[in-house]
């Protein structure tokens, strides 16, 4: 589904990502951990095609096509979707109207999902204007549901969300990623950024990565990596990474 090779990215003349390699197969969901400022949002904004993220080296392939220089709207049409960490408010545009424009599923389905999310009252509101942290996350999730992309990225879908809604959002992400189907029937893939393990109780993830200082410092089993971070912090992962580098 997605293959990133030797990717280096600059934002405003500052190198943020260095030599990132990542491969996500059809049916897989990966999680990206990392301290604040590591470059996590930059990585998924680059995959989406944000013009501020300048690729200085390497390539991004999606469904076998080189999308490295492709504009953001073409990537969206090809089937890449991103639920943003901090999306802007859009005064004058009702959420309902935005959803109708981007929708690839029937309006009835969107209404049903809005109901499941306890979010029907917000359809007539302006997009993200005056929304609380948790409401913004639901608005983003509903937009992803409407777009129905094959590859979904969620940038901290759980930050600022209360415990009950983390469970709800987690269950819905798991469903969107078709993790409630048997492996042979899964056609979607995803990349999720989170700081907290709580949401991962509800989402089946296949693989985890730690991004540190713009570099993927470790990849492996989500449980093992999460437990290490919770127990010892990122410090231990970074020391381990440095040791592995010294050992070649
Ligand atoms: N517009 C910008 N101009 C300069 N630096 C930026 C800009 N946006 C992000 N950065 C820097 O890029 C680094 C990575 O940011 P980000 O990808 O948001 O990290 P994360 O999502 O892991 O917390 C940070 O040091 C941040 O300050
Ligand atoms: Mg971020």
Nearest to 87 by CA among 136, 40, 157, 42: 136
Q: In the prediction, which pLDDT does 89 show?
A: 94
- The strand pairing partners of 216, in sequence order, are 211
Q: Report, as ranges of residue numbers, the positions in the chain whose pLDDT lies below 50.
A: none
User: What are 175's two structure tokens?
Assistant: 């469903």
Q: Distances from the Cα of 198 to the Cαs of 172, 176, 178, 233, in angstroms?
A: 14, 18, 20, 16
Ligand 1 pocket: which of 7, 8, 13, 14 to mutate (most atoms within 8 A of CB): 14
**Nearest of 152, 163, 158 to residue 138 by alpha carbon:** 158
Return d(Cα 137, Cα 162) in angstroms, integer. Answer: 11
**Structure tokens of 183?**
């492996």
Token digits for 146? 């409407």
Model's pTM, two decimal places?
Answer: 0.95
For ligand 1, whether the C-beta of 27 sits within 6 Å is no
Q: What is the pLDDT of residues 51-84, one digit of tens each?
A: 999 999 999 999 999 999 999 999 999 999 999 9
What confidence score (pLDDT) does residue 8 get? Answer: 98
Q: How close is the Cα of 33 to the center of ligand 2, in Å?
A: 10
Q: Is residue 12 in contact with ligand 1, taking CB distance under 6 Å?
A: yes
Q: How far away, in angstroms, is 162 Cα from ligand 1 center?
A: 26
Determine whether 52 is exposed, middle or buried from the number of CB atoms within 10 Å of its CB (0-12, 13-18, 19+): exposed
Q: For residue range 183-205, what is the model confidence (pLDDT) as tens digits?
A: 999 999 999 999 878 999 999 99
- Homologous superfamily assigned to 2-90+154-246: P-loop containing nucleotide triphosphate hydrolases (3.40.50.300)
Nearest ligand (C-alpha, residue 10): 1
Go through 105-118 and write b for each residue having 16 or more CB atoms within 10 A of its CB, e for each that does not: eeeeebeebbeebe
Hey, whose CA ends up nearest to atom 27 of ligand 1? 37
Q: Note the pLDDT of residue 156.
A: 96
Asked whether 117 lines ligand 1 (CB < 6 A), one says: no
**HSE-up of residue 137 (Cα within 13 Å, Cβ side):** 22
- What's the CA gap between 238 and 248, in Å, rounded? 15
Q: Which atom of ligand 1 is nearest to the CA of 35?
A: 22
**Tokens of residue 185, six digits:** 């029937």
Ligand that lies nearest to the alpha carbon of residue 43, given by its number in the listed order = 1
Pocket of ligand 1 contains residue 11 by CB under 6 Å = yes
């Amino acid at each position: 589904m997605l293959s990133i090779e030797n990717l280096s990215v600059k934002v405003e003349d500052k190198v943020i990502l260095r030599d990132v390699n990542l491969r996500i197969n059809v049916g897989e969901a990966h999680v990206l951990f990392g301290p604040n400022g590591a470059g996590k949002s930059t990585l998924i904004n680059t995959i989406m095609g944000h013009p501020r993220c300048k690729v200085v080296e390497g390539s991004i392939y999606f469904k076998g096509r080189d999308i490295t220089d492709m504009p953001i709207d073409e990537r969206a049409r090809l089937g890449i979707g991103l639920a943003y960490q901090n999306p802007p408010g859009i005064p004058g545009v009702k959420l309902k109207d935005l959803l109708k424009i981007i929708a690839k599923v029937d309006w009835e389905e969107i209404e049903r999902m809005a109901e499941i999310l306890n979010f029907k009252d917000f359809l007539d509101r302006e997009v993200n204007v005056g929304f609380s942290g948790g409401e913004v996350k639901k608005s983003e999730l509903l937009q992803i549901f409407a777009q129905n992309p094959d590859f979904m990225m969620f940038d901290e879908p759980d930050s600022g969300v209360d415990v009950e809604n983390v469970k709800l959002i987690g269950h819905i992400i798991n469903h969107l990623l078709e993790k409630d189907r048997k492996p042979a029937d899964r056609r979607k893939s995803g990349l999720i950024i989170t700081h907290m393990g709580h949401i991962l109780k509800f989402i089946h993830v296949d693989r985890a990565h730690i991004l540190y200082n713009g570099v993927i410092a470790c990849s492996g089993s989500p449980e093992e990596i999460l437990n290490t971070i919770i127990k010892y912090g990122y410090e231990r992962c970074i020391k381990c990474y440095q040791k592995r580098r010294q050992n070649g």
